[in-house]
Structure 1
Protein backbone atom coordinates (compact mmCIF):
# COMPACT_ATOMS: atom_id res chain seq x y z
CA UNK A 1 0.00 0.00 0.00
CA UNK A 2 1.26 3.46 -0.84
CA UNK A 3 2.24 5.30 2.39
CA UNK A 4 0.17 8.30 1.40
CA UNK A 5 -3.01 6.30 0.82
CA UNK A 6 -5.26 5.97 3.89
CA UNK A 7 -6.40 2.46 4.80
CA UNK A 8 -9.73 3.83 5.96
CA UNK A 9 -10.49 7.20 4.47
CA UNK A 10 -12.12 9.55 7.01
CA UNK A 11 -15.29 11.26 5.92
CA UNK A 12 -14.01 14.49 4.36
CA UNK A 13 -15.59 17.90 4.58
CA UNK A 14 -17.03 19.60 1.53
CA UNK A 15 -15.15 22.77 0.72
CA UNK A 16 -17.69 25.29 -0.43
CA UNK A 17 -19.42 28.48 0.60
CA UNK A 18 -18.56 32.13 0.97
CA UNK A 19 -15.37 32.74 3.01
CA UNK A 20 -14.73 28.99 3.38
CA UNK A 21 -11.39 27.38 2.58
CA UNK A 22 -11.83 26.22 -1.03
CA UNK A 23 -8.41 24.86 -2.00
CA UNK A 24 -4.81 24.25 -0.92
CA UNK A 25 -1.95 25.20 -3.18
CA UNK A 26 1.82 24.75 -3.21
CA UNK A 27 3.90 27.66 -4.48
CA UNK A 28 7.21 26.18 -5.54
CA UNK A 29 10.14 26.76 -7.90
CA UNK A 30 10.37 23.51 -9.87
CA UNK A 31 7.21 21.78 -11.05
CA UNK A 32 8.87 18.51 -12.10
CA UNK A 33 10.71 18.11 -8.80
CA UNK A 34 7.51 18.80 -6.83
CA UNK A 35 5.56 16.21 -8.83
CA UNK A 36 8.22 13.57 -8.27
CA UNK A 37 8.33 14.21 -4.53
CA UNK A 38 4.60 14.39 -3.77
CA UNK A 39 3.82 11.58 -6.17
CA UNK A 40 6.20 9.30 -4.30
CA UNK A 41 5.27 10.46 -0.80
CA UNK A 42 1.49 10.96 -1.00
CA UNK A 43 0.69 8.77 -3.99
CA UNK A 44 -0.68 11.66 -6.04
CA UNK A 45 -1.05 11.75 -9.80
CA UNK A 46 -0.97 14.98 -11.77
CA UNK A 47 -2.83 16.59 -14.61
CA UNK A 48 -2.20 19.86 -16.36
CA UNK A 49 -5.19 22.14 -16.33
CA UNK A 50 -6.23 25.43 -17.92
CA UNK A 51 -3.98 27.59 -15.72
CA UNK A 52 -0.90 27.31 -17.96
CA UNK A 53 2.29 25.30 -18.21
CA UNK A 54 3.50 26.35 -14.74
CA UNK A 55 0.53 24.74 -12.96
CA UNK A 56 -0.72 21.21 -12.35
CA UNK A 57 -3.58 19.73 -10.37
CA UNK A 58 -2.71 16.91 -7.98
CA UNK A 59 -5.24 14.09 -7.73
CA UNK A 60 -5.77 11.48 -5.02
CA UNK A 61 -7.72 8.43 -6.12
CA UNK A 62 -8.81 10.42 -9.16
CA UNK A 63 -10.19 13.32 -7.08
CA UNK A 64 -8.58 16.80 -7.17
CA UNK A 65 -6.60 17.21 -3.94
CA UNK A 66 -4.29 20.23 -4.37
CA UNK A 67 -2.71 22.59 -6.85
CA UNK A 68 0.98 23.13 -7.53
CA UNK A 69 2.36 26.20 -9.25
CA UNK A 70 6.00 26.87 -10.12
CA UNK A 71 5.62 30.61 -9.66
CA UNK A 72 7.71 31.41 -6.55
CA UNK A 73 10.55 32.91 -8.58
CA UNK A 74 8.35 34.71 -11.14
CA UNK A 75 6.22 36.46 -8.50
CA UNK A 76 8.96 36.80 -5.85
CA UNK A 77 6.91 34.99 -3.21
CA UNK A 78 7.91 32.39 -0.65
CA UNK A 79 7.92 28.65 -1.33
CA UNK A 80 5.01 27.48 0.81
CA UNK A 81 1.79 25.54 1.11
CA UNK A 82 -1.17 27.87 1.57
CA UNK A 83 -4.96 27.75 1.77
CA UNK A 84 -7.29 29.65 -0.53
CA UNK A 85 -10.55 31.14 0.70
CA UNK A 86 -13.59 31.58 -1.54
CA UNK A 87 -14.77 35.19 -1.73
CA UNK A 88 -17.46 37.00 -3.79
CA UNK A 89 -15.25 39.99 -4.69
CA UNK A 90 -11.45 39.73 -4.82
CA UNK A 91 -10.93 43.49 -5.15
CA UNK A 92 -13.03 44.21 -2.07
CA UNK A 93 -11.25 41.58 0.03
CA UNK A 94 -7.80 42.70 -1.17
CA UNK A 95 -8.70 46.19 0.01
CA UNK A 96 -9.77 44.86 3.41
CA UNK A 97 -6.44 43.03 3.75
CA UNK A 98 -4.47 46.24 3.13
CA UNK A 99 -6.73 48.30 5.43
CA UNK A 100 -6.01 45.87 8.28
CA UNK A 101 -2.21 45.95 7.82
CA UNK A 102 -1.98 42.74 5.82
CA UNK A 103 0.01 42.46 2.60
CA UNK A 104 -1.22 41.78 -0.93
CA UNK A 105 1.72 40.28 -2.82
CA UNK A 106 0.04 39.34 -6.11
CA UNK A 107 -3.29 40.20 -7.71
CA UNK A 108 -6.15 40.26 -8.07
CA UNK A 109 -5.02 38.23 -11.08
CA UNK A 110 -7.38 36.60 -13.59
CA UNK A 111 -6.66 32.88 -13.86
CA UNK A 112 -8.97 30.63 -15.83
CA UNK A 113 -12.52 31.02 -14.53
CA UNK A 114 -11.55 32.99 -11.44
CA UNK A 115 -9.49 35.77 -9.91
CA UNK A 116 -6.75 35.04 -7.39
CA UNK A 117 -4.83 37.00 -4.77
CA UNK A 118 -1.71 35.92 -2.89
CA UNK A 119 -1.56 37.68 0.46
CA UNK A 120 -0.21 37.57 4.00
CA UNK A 121 -1.92 38.47 7.24
CA UNK A 122 -0.44 41.11 9.54
CA UNK A 123 1.70 38.50 11.29
CA UNK A 124 3.16 37.21 8.01
CA UNK A 125 1.18 33.98 7.42
CA UNK A 126 0.59 33.46 3.67
CA UNK A 127 -2.85 32.69 2.26
CA UNK A 128 -4.80 33.14 -0.96
CA UNK A 129 -8.26 34.31 -1.93
CA UNK A 130 -10.27 33.12 -4.91
CA UNK A 131 -13.21 34.80 -6.60
CA UNK A 132 -15.41 32.53 -8.70
CA UNK A 133 -16.19 34.15 -12.05
CA UNK A 134 -17.23 31.14 -14.14
CA UNK A 135 -19.81 28.42 -13.72
CA UNK A 136 -17.19 26.26 -11.98
CA UNK A 137 -13.89 27.12 -10.34
CA UNK A 138 -10.66 25.90 -11.92
CA UNK A 139 -9.19 25.69 -8.42
CA UNK A 140 -11.93 23.77 -6.67
CA UNK A 141 -14.49 22.01 -8.85
CA UNK A 142 -18.03 21.96 -7.48
CA UNK A 143 -18.44 19.20 -4.93
CA UNK A 144 -14.69 18.75 -4.35
CA UNK A 145 -14.01 17.04 -1.03
CA UNK A 146 -11.26 18.03 1.34
CA UNK A 147 -7.99 16.14 1.20
CA UNK A 148 -6.34 18.58 3.59
CA UNK A 149 -7.11 20.18 6.92
CA UNK A 150 -5.87 23.53 8.18
CA UNK A 151 -4.34 24.99 11.31
CA UNK A 152 -3.09 28.56 11.62
CA UNK A 153 -0.18 28.86 14.01
CA UNK A 154 0.02 32.53 14.84
CA UNK A 155 1.09 35.07 17.44
CA UNK A 156 -2.37 35.56 18.96
CA UNK A 157 -5.28 33.33 17.97
CA UNK A 158 -7.96 35.79 19.01
CA UNK A 159 -6.33 38.71 17.15
CA UNK A 160 -5.96 36.51 14.04
CA UNK A 161 -9.63 35.49 14.29
CA UNK A 162 -10.59 39.16 14.27
CA UNK A 163 -8.38 39.83 11.22
CA UNK A 164 -9.74 36.92 9.15
CA UNK A 165 -13.25 37.53 10.42
CA UNK A 166 -13.19 41.13 9.19
CA UNK A 167 -11.41 40.32 5.92
CA UNK A 168 -13.47 37.26 4.98
CA UNK A 169 -16.76 38.16 6.59
CA UNK A 170 -16.88 35.30 9.04
CA UNK A 171 -19.98 35.42 11.25
CA UNK A 172 -21.63 37.71 8.72
CA UNK A 173 -24.68 35.46 8.64
CA UNK A 174 -24.33 34.85 4.88
CA UNK A 175 -25.53 31.49 3.61
CA UNK A 176 -22.63 29.07 3.33
CA UNK A 177 -20.34 31.30 5.37
CA UNK A 178 -18.03 30.44 8.25
CA UNK A 179 -18.30 31.05 11.96
CA UNK A 180 -15.79 30.91 14.79
CA UNK A 181 -15.96 29.35 18.22
CA UNK A 182 -13.54 29.70 21.12
CA UNK A 183 -12.46 26.25 22.32
CA UNK A 184 -10.12 26.28 25.32
CA UNK A 185 -7.24 28.53 24.17
CA UNK A 186 -7.84 28.07 20.44
CA UNK A 187 -10.28 29.30 17.82
CA UNK A 188 -12.24 26.72 15.84
CA UNK A 189 -13.48 27.71 12.39
CA UNK A 190 -16.63 25.98 11.15
CA UNK A 191 -17.93 26.30 7.61
CA UNK A 192 -21.37 24.99 6.70
CA UNK A 193 -21.43 23.55 10.20
CA UNK A 194 -18.31 21.44 9.65
CA UNK A 195 -15.03 22.02 11.54
CA UNK A 196 -12.34 22.87 8.98
CA UNK A 197 -9.56 24.77 10.74
CA UNK A 198 -8.09 25.74 14.08
CA UNK A 199 -6.17 28.87 15.01
CA UNK A 200 -3.52 28.49 17.73
CA UNK A 201 -1.46 31.10 19.60
CA UNK A 202 2.25 31.05 20.39
CA UNK A 203 4.07 31.67 17.11
CA UNK A 204 6.98 34.14 17.13
CA UNK A 205 7.27 36.51 14.16
CA UNK A 206 11.05 36.89 14.30
CA UNK A 207 11.91 33.24 15.05
CA UNK A 208 14.69 31.78 12.86
CA UNK A 209 12.82 28.46 12.69
CA UNK A 210 10.03 28.72 10.05
CA UNK A 211 7.94 26.25 12.08
CA UNK A 212 7.78 28.75 14.92
CA UNK A 213 6.91 31.75 12.77
CA UNK A 214 3.23 32.41 11.97
CA UNK A 215 2.05 30.17 9.12
CA UNK A 216 -0.90 28.21 7.83
CA UNK A 217 -0.20 24.54 8.45
CA UNK A 218 -1.66 22.30 5.74
CA UNK A 219 -2.35 18.81 7.12
CA UNK A 220 -2.81 15.82 4.81
CA UNK A 221 -4.47 12.66 6.22
CA UNK A 222 -2.46 9.47 5.63
CA UNK A 223 -2.79 5.86 6.73
CA UNK A 224 0.63 5.53 8.35
CA UNK A 225 2.60 8.56 9.51
CA UNK A 226 5.84 6.62 10.00
CA UNK A 227 5.76 5.12 6.50
CA UNK A 228 5.05 8.53 4.99
CA UNK A 229 7.97 10.10 6.89
CA UNK A 230 10.32 7.39 5.61
CA UNK A 231 9.08 7.90 2.04
CA UNK A 232 9.66 11.65 2.33
CA UNK A 233 13.21 11.15 3.62
CA UNK A 234 13.99 8.70 0.81
CA UNK A 235 12.99 11.31 -1.75
CA UNK A 236 14.87 14.30 -0.37
CA UNK A 237 12.45 15.57 2.27
CA UNK A 238 13.27 16.20 5.91
CA UNK A 239 11.43 15.43 9.14
CA UNK A 240 11.05 18.61 11.17
CA UNK A 241 8.89 17.40 14.06
CA UNK A 242 6.88 14.33 15.07
CA UNK A 243 4.30 14.51 17.85
CA UNK A 244 1.45 12.62 19.42
CA UNK A 245 -1.90 14.40 19.41
CA UNK A 246 -5.36 13.41 20.69
CA UNK A 247 -6.66 10.48 18.64
CA UNK A 248 -3.41 9.91 16.74
CA UNK A 249 -0.08 11.35 15.62
CA UNK A 250 1.29 13.81 13.10
CA UNK A 251 4.61 14.80 11.57
CA UNK A 252 5.75 18.05 10.00
CA UNK A 253 7.92 17.61 6.93
CA UNK A 254 9.93 19.90 4.68
CA UNK A 255 9.92 19.10 0.98
CA UNK A 256 13.16 19.39 -1.07
CA UNK A 257 12.30 22.98 -2.06
CA UNK A 258 11.67 24.05 1.54
CA UNK A 259 7.86 24.01 1.82
CA UNK A 260 6.48 22.75 5.13
CA UNK A 261 3.48 20.42 5.33
CA UNK A 262 2.05 18.04 7.90
CA UNK A 263 0.81 14.46 7.62
CA UNK A 264 -1.57 13.02 10.17
CA UNK A 265 -3.50 9.85 10.93
CA UNK A 266 -6.12 11.78 12.92
CA UNK A 267 -9.58 11.11 11.56
CA UNK A 268 -11.06 14.56 12.18
CA UNK A 269 -9.94 17.96 10.83
CA UNK A 270 -7.44 19.52 13.23
CA UNK A 271 -8.68 17.28 16.08
CA UNK A 272 -12.00 19.09 15.89
CA UNK A 273 -13.98 16.09 17.08
CA UNK A 274 -12.33 16.39 20.49
CA UNK A 275 -14.41 19.36 21.58
Structure 2
Protein backbone atom coordinates (compact mmCIF):
# COMPACT_ATOMS: atom_id res chain seq x y z
CA UNK A 1 0.00 0.00 0.00
CA UNK A 2 0.96 3.61 -0.08
CA UNK A 3 0.39 6.76 -2.08
CA UNK A 4 1.76 6.85 -5.62
CA UNK A 5 2.89 10.10 -7.17
CA UNK A 6 0.35 10.11 -10.00
CA UNK A 7 -2.25 7.52 -8.99
CA UNK A 8 -4.32 7.97 -5.85
CA UNK A 9 -4.88 5.13 -3.38
CA UNK A 10 -8.17 5.27 -1.47
CA UNK A 11 -8.88 4.05 2.05
CA UNK A 12 -12.59 3.24 2.41
CA UNK A 13 -13.82 2.45 5.92
CA UNK A 14 -15.47 -0.91 6.70
CA UNK A 15 -14.82 -2.68 3.36
CA UNK A 16 -11.85 -4.25 1.55
CA UNK A 17 -10.37 -1.29 -0.31
CA UNK A 18 -6.84 -2.37 -1.27
CA UNK A 19 -5.14 -5.59 -2.33
CA UNK A 20 -1.46 -6.41 -2.31
CA UNK A 21 0.64 -9.32 -3.55
CA UNK A 22 3.56 -10.66 -1.55
CA UNK A 23 5.92 -12.10 -4.17
CA UNK A 24 9.42 -13.54 -4.17
CA UNK A 25 10.27 -12.40 -7.71
CA UNK A 26 8.95 -8.90 -8.30
CA UNK A 27 10.14 -8.70 -11.91
CA UNK A 28 8.51 -12.05 -12.64
CA UNK A 29 5.25 -10.82 -11.09
CA UNK A 30 5.35 -7.72 -13.30
CA UNK A 31 5.94 -9.86 -16.38
CA UNK A 32 2.93 -12.02 -15.50
CA UNK A 33 0.31 -9.56 -14.21
CA UNK A 34 1.20 -6.66 -16.51
CA UNK A 35 0.17 -8.29 -19.80
CA UNK A 36 -2.59 -10.37 -18.17
CA UNK A 37 -4.44 -7.45 -16.56
CA UNK A 38 -3.16 -4.51 -18.59
CA UNK A 39 -1.25 -2.99 -15.69
CA UNK A 40 1.44 -0.36 -15.75
CA UNK A 41 3.66 0.05 -12.71
CA UNK A 42 4.81 2.94 -10.53
CA UNK A 43 7.25 2.92 -7.62
CA UNK A 44 5.54 2.66 -4.24
CA UNK A 45 6.84 3.14 -0.70
CA UNK A 46 9.79 0.87 0.04
CA UNK A 47 9.93 1.13 3.81
CA UNK A 48 9.22 -2.61 4.17
CA UNK A 49 11.02 -3.70 0.99
CA UNK A 50 10.65 -3.20 -2.78
CA UNK A 51 7.07 -2.25 -3.65
CA UNK A 52 5.15 -1.26 -6.77
CA UNK A 53 1.71 0.14 -7.53
CA UNK A 54 -0.24 -1.47 -10.36
CA UNK A 55 -2.01 1.24 -12.34
CA UNK A 56 -4.88 1.05 -14.81
CA UNK A 57 -6.93 3.91 -16.18
CA UNK A 58 -4.78 6.35 -14.22
CA UNK A 59 -5.69 4.73 -10.90
CA UNK A 60 -3.60 2.62 -8.55
CA UNK A 61 -5.57 -0.61 -8.10
CA UNK A 62 -3.15 -3.00 -6.38
CA UNK A 63 0.29 -3.32 -4.86
CA UNK A 64 3.09 -5.79 -5.50
CA UNK A 65 5.89 -6.22 -3.03
CA UNK A 66 8.59 -8.49 -1.69
CA UNK A 67 8.25 -9.26 2.00
CA UNK A 68 11.11 -8.23 4.25
CA UNK A 69 13.35 -10.97 5.58
CA UNK A 70 11.60 -10.88 8.98
CA UNK A 71 8.17 -11.60 7.48
CA UNK A 72 7.65 -15.28 6.69
CA UNK A 73 4.69 -14.75 4.37
CA UNK A 74 3.72 -17.05 1.48
CA UNK A 75 3.20 -15.81 -2.07
CA UNK A 76 -0.38 -14.59 -1.76
CA UNK A 77 -2.80 -11.75 -2.32
CA UNK A 78 -3.95 -9.93 0.83
CA UNK A 79 -7.13 -7.86 1.08
CA UNK A 80 -7.03 -4.79 3.33
CA UNK A 81 -10.04 -3.34 5.14
CA UNK A 82 -10.14 0.40 5.64
CA UNK A 83 -10.70 1.72 9.13
CA UNK A 84 -10.77 5.02 10.99
CA UNK A 85 -8.48 3.58 13.70
CA UNK A 86 -6.01 0.75 13.18
CA UNK A 87 -5.44 0.58 16.94
CA UNK A 88 -9.12 0.07 17.71
CA UNK A 89 -9.47 -2.53 14.97
CA UNK A 90 -6.36 -4.37 16.22
CA UNK A 91 -7.71 -4.35 19.77
CA UNK A 92 -11.04 -5.74 18.50
CA UNK A 93 -9.21 -8.55 16.67
CA UNK A 94 -7.46 -9.60 19.90
CA UNK A 95 -10.58 -9.27 22.02
CA UNK A 96 -12.47 -11.64 19.72
CA UNK A 97 -9.95 -14.44 19.89
CA UNK A 98 -8.36 -13.87 16.50
CA UNK A 99 -4.67 -13.39 15.67
CA UNK A 100 -2.92 -10.06 15.23
CA UNK A 101 0.29 -11.03 13.42
CA UNK A 102 1.99 -7.70 12.65
CA UNK A 103 1.42 -4.08 13.63
CA UNK A 104 -0.12 -1.65 13.58
CA UNK A 105 2.89 -0.09 11.87
CA UNK A 106 3.21 3.47 10.62
CA UNK A 107 4.20 4.21 7.01
CA UNK A 108 3.73 7.02 4.51
CA UNK A 109 0.04 6.33 3.77
CA UNK A 110 -1.09 5.79 7.34
CA UNK A 111 -0.94 2.70 9.56
CA UNK A 112 -1.22 -0.97 8.68
CA UNK A 113 -1.59 -4.31 10.45
CA UNK A 114 -1.92 -7.95 9.42
CA UNK A 115 -4.33 -10.34 11.14
CA UNK A 116 -6.10 -13.67 10.76
CA UNK A 117 -9.76 -14.17 11.61
CA UNK A 118 -10.91 -17.00 13.95
CA UNK A 119 -11.13 -19.42 10.99
CA UNK A 120 -7.59 -18.53 9.85
CA UNK A 121 -8.30 -16.24 6.88
CA UNK A 122 -5.57 -13.58 6.60
CA UNK A 123 -6.51 -9.93 6.06
CA UNK A 124 -5.00 -6.48 6.37
CA UNK A 125 -6.08 -3.45 8.37
CA UNK A 126 -5.39 -0.01 6.91
CA UNK A 127 -5.91 3.37 8.51
CA UNK A 128 -5.35 6.14 5.98
CA UNK A 129 -6.92 9.23 4.42
CA UNK A 130 -10.53 8.25 3.75
CA UNK A 131 -11.93 8.41 0.23
CA UNK A 132 -14.73 7.12 -1.95
CA UNK A 133 -15.17 3.50 -3.00
CA UNK A 134 -13.08 2.26 -5.92
CA UNK A 135 -14.41 2.41 -9.46
CA UNK A 136 -15.98 -0.82 -10.66
CA UNK A 137 -15.64 -0.14 -14.40
CA UNK A 138 -11.85 -0.39 -14.66
CA UNK A 139 -10.43 -3.45 -16.45
CA UNK A 140 -7.73 -4.93 -14.26
CA UNK A 141 -9.16 -3.56 -11.02
CA UNK A 142 -10.11 -5.81 -8.07
CA UNK A 143 -13.88 -5.56 -8.43
CA UNK A 144 -14.97 -8.53 -6.30
CA UNK A 145 -13.42 -9.79 -3.05
CA UNK A 146 -14.96 -12.82 -1.38
CA UNK A 147 -14.25 -14.65 1.86
CA UNK A 148 -14.42 -18.42 1.44
CA UNK A 149 -15.13 -19.79 4.92
CA UNK A 150 -17.06 -22.63 6.62
CA UNK A 151 -19.34 -20.26 8.59
CA UNK A 152 -20.01 -16.92 6.86
CA UNK A 153 -22.41 -15.83 9.61
CA UNK A 154 -19.81 -16.23 12.35
CA UNK A 155 -17.31 -14.47 10.08
CA UNK A 156 -19.75 -11.61 9.45
CA UNK A 157 -20.20 -11.18 13.19
CA UNK A 158 -16.43 -11.02 13.67
CA UNK A 159 -15.71 -8.56 10.85
CA UNK A 160 -18.78 -6.52 11.71
CA UNK A 161 -17.51 -6.01 15.25
CA UNK A 162 -13.93 -5.29 14.19
CA UNK A 163 -14.91 -2.76 11.50
CA UNK A 164 -18.11 -1.43 13.11
CA UNK A 165 -20.58 -2.36 10.39
CA UNK A 166 -23.57 -1.48 12.57
CA UNK A 167 -24.56 2.16 12.76
CA UNK A 168 -22.86 3.35 9.57
CA UNK A 169 -24.60 5.64 7.11
CA UNK A 170 -26.97 3.35 5.16
CA UNK A 171 -26.68 5.65 2.15
CA UNK A 172 -23.00 4.74 1.86
CA UNK A 173 -22.71 1.29 3.44
CA UNK A 174 -24.94 -1.69 4.11
CA UNK A 175 -24.79 -5.45 4.67
CA UNK A 176 -27.34 -7.80 3.12
CA UNK A 177 -27.98 -11.45 2.29
CA UNK A 178 -28.09 -12.25 -1.42
CA UNK A 179 -27.12 -15.17 -3.66
CA UNK A 180 -26.36 -17.30 -0.57
CA UNK A 181 -23.78 -14.80 0.63
CA UNK A 182 -23.38 -12.04 3.18
CA UNK A 183 -22.74 -9.10 0.85
CA UNK A 184 -21.08 -5.77 1.63
CA UNK A 185 -22.26 -2.80 -0.36
CA UNK A 186 -20.49 0.56 -0.59
CA UNK A 187 -22.13 3.57 -2.22
CA UNK A 188 -24.77 1.46 -3.94
CA UNK A 189 -22.46 -1.25 -5.31
CA UNK A 190 -21.79 -4.78 -4.08
CA UNK A 191 -18.02 -4.91 -3.50
CA UNK A 192 -17.33 -7.93 -1.30
CA UNK A 193 -18.99 -10.97 0.22
CA UNK A 194 -18.63 -13.78 2.73
CA UNK A 195 -19.58 -17.18 1.28
CA UNK A 196 -19.77 -20.70 2.67
CA UNK A 197 -17.05 -23.13 1.69
CA UNK A 198 -15.91 -26.05 3.78
CA UNK A 199 -12.22 -26.23 4.65
CA UNK A 200 -10.40 -28.12 1.92
CA UNK A 201 -13.19 -27.28 -0.54
CA UNK A 202 -12.56 -25.67 -3.91
CA UNK A 203 -8.91 -26.12 -4.83
CA UNK A 204 -8.24 -27.59 -1.38
CA UNK A 205 -7.73 -24.19 0.24
CA UNK A 206 -8.17 -23.18 3.87
CA UNK A 207 -10.41 -20.14 4.64
CA UNK A 208 -9.18 -17.14 2.65
CA UNK A 209 -10.17 -13.89 0.98
CA UNK A 210 -10.27 -14.45 -2.79
CA UNK A 211 -9.46 -11.41 -4.96
CA UNK A 212 -11.11 -11.22 -8.40
CA UNK A 213 -9.82 -8.77 -11.02
CA UNK A 214 -12.05 -7.49 -13.81
CA UNK A 215 -11.34 -8.71 -17.35
CA UNK A 216 -13.40 -8.46 -20.55
CA UNK A 217 -13.43 -12.25 -21.05
CA UNK A 218 -12.62 -14.68 -18.23
CA UNK A 219 -12.05 -17.63 -20.57
CA UNK A 220 -9.53 -15.70 -22.65
CA UNK A 221 -7.81 -14.47 -19.50
CA UNK A 222 -7.51 -18.06 -18.28
CA UNK A 223 -5.81 -19.08 -21.52
CA UNK A 224 -3.55 -16.01 -21.40
CA UNK A 225 -2.52 -16.76 -17.81
CA UNK A 226 -1.39 -20.23 -18.86
CA UNK A 227 0.56 -18.73 -21.77
CA UNK A 228 2.32 -16.42 -19.31
CA UNK A 229 3.44 -19.29 -17.10
CA UNK A 230 0.56 -19.44 -14.64
CA UNK A 231 -2.05 -22.17 -14.28
CA UNK A 232 -5.81 -22.63 -14.05
CA UNK A 233 -7.49 -23.88 -10.88
CA UNK A 234 -10.36 -25.67 -12.63
CA UNK A 235 -12.50 -24.48 -15.52
CA UNK A 236 -14.11 -21.06 -15.78
CA UNK A 237 -17.65 -20.93 -14.37
CA UNK A 238 -20.65 -18.61 -14.12
CA UNK A 239 -21.42 -16.88 -10.81
CA UNK A 240 -24.18 -14.43 -9.82
CA UNK A 241 -21.67 -11.62 -10.34
CA UNK A 242 -20.13 -12.70 -13.65
CA UNK A 243 -18.01 -15.39 -15.26
CA UNK A 244 -15.07 -16.40 -13.08
CA UNK A 245 -11.76 -18.19 -13.61
CA UNK A 246 -9.58 -19.13 -10.64
CA UNK A 247 -5.87 -18.98 -11.36
CA UNK A 248 -2.37 -19.29 -9.96
CA UNK A 249 0.50 -17.02 -10.91
CA UNK A 250 4.02 -18.26 -11.68
CA UNK A 251 4.89 -18.55 -7.99
CA UNK A 252 1.63 -20.17 -6.89
CA UNK A 253 -0.20 -17.04 -5.74
CA UNK A 254 -3.96 -17.66 -5.98
CA UNK A 255 -6.39 -15.12 -7.43
CA UNK A 256 -9.34 -14.97 -9.81
CA UNK A 257 -10.50 -13.00 -12.80
CA UNK A 258 -14.12 -12.09 -13.44
CA UNK A 259 -16.09 -10.77 -16.39
CA UNK A 260 -18.59 -8.70 -14.40
CA UNK A 261 -22.26 -8.65 -15.34
CA UNK A 262 -23.51 -5.31 -16.57
Please confirm whether the aligned pair reaches a TM-score higher than 0.5, indicating the same fold: yes
Check 1:46–1:103 CA distance in 2 against 1; reply closer, same or farther (3 A cut): same
Check 1:208–1:79 CA distance in 2 against 1; reply closer, same or farther (3 A cut): farther
Give the structure 1 partner of residue 222 of structure 2.
Answer: 229
Give the structure 2 partner of residue 109 of structure 1.
Answer: 105
Check 1:74–1:233 CA distance in 2 against 1; reply closer, same or farther (3 A cut): farther
Report the more deviating stretch, 71-80 or 223-232: 71-80
Give the structure 1 partner of residue 40 of structure 2.
Answer: 45
**Residues 1:95 and 2:95 are matched in the alignment:** no
Give the structure 2 partner of residue 9 of structure 1.
Answer: none
List gaps (5 residues or longer) in structure 2: 1-8
How much has 1:152 moved relative to structure 2? 0.9
Equivalent residue for 1:257, pick from 246, 251, 260 = 251
Within 1, Cα distance between the matches of 2:174 and 2:107?
28
Check 1:90–1:64 CA distance in 2 against 1; reply closer, same or farther (3 A cut): same
Matched residue of 1:75: which SS? coil
Check 1:72–1:224 CA distance in 2 against 1; reply closer, same or farther (3 A cut): farther
**Residues 1:193 and 2:183 are matched in the alignment:** no
Give the structure 2 partner of residue 220 of structure 1.
Answer: 213
Between Structure 1 and Structure 2, how many residues are aligned? 247
8 Å CA contact 2:115–2:124 kept in 1: the answer is yes
How much has 1:40 moved relative to structure 2? 2.1
**Residues 1:77 and 2:76 are matched in the alignment:** no
Within 2, Cα distance between the matches of 1:128 and 1:61?
25
Which structure has the higher relative contact order (CA within 8 Å, separation 6+)? 1
Q: How does 1:22-37 map to 2 (within 5 A)?
A: 22-37=17-32
Within 2, Cα distance between the matches of 1:195 and 1:208?
24
8 Å CA contact 2:93–2:99 kept in 1: the answer is yes
List gaps (5 residues or longer) in structure 1: 1-13, 269-275
